[in-house]
Amino acid sequence: MQSVGPAYAAVLAAIHAAAFPNEPWGAAAFQTQLEMHGVVGLLDQRGGLLMLRVTADEADILTIGVLPNLRRRGLGQGLLQKGIAKAREIGAASIFLEVDQGNRAAQALYAAAGFTEVGRRKRYYANGADALVLRLDLSPAASA
């Protein structure tokens, strides 16, 4: 697993399109984001990605995805743990993400990492599904 920059935009876009065929992000979107201050891209060469943005002391997981044929093999968990560590390293005290209310597998992954629901965004996704807003406290006391 490695941190990647704008040169990897097309690779990230290809993985994202396969992971999220109904809401793919193009290479230009990845490139623009990776050029922004505080944005980190993580790539698992086997077929996974995570995009993270840190602003002040808060981090947001912008997207995390794994190729469908590689799911349930630990790639997502590894990316998530690396993303959490990276956010903590950069100075984030908490990390947020949104997850489709119907995506039970992702919700289980996030719950196992310690995320808890703190809100809901109505009709957040293109298919009209609500997003659950999840948060993980990264403060030293929370991990003790």
Q: What pLDDT, in 10s, does the model give residues 9-63?
A: 999 999 999 998 888 899 999 999 999 999 999 999 999 999 999 998 999 999 9
Span 99-118, pLDDT tens digits? 999 889 899 999 999 999 99
CA angle 4, 8, 9 (to 5 degrees): 115
**CA dist., res. 89 & res. 87, Å (int):** 5
**CA dist., res. 40 & res. 45, Å (int):** 16
State the pTM of this model: 0.88
Determine which helix (DSSP H) or strand (DSSP E) holds 65, and give its type and residue range.
strand 58-66
CB atoms within 10 A of CB 63: 22
The structural domains of the chain, ordered by start, are 2-143 (3.40.630.30)
CA angle 137, 75, 97 (to 5 degrees): 35
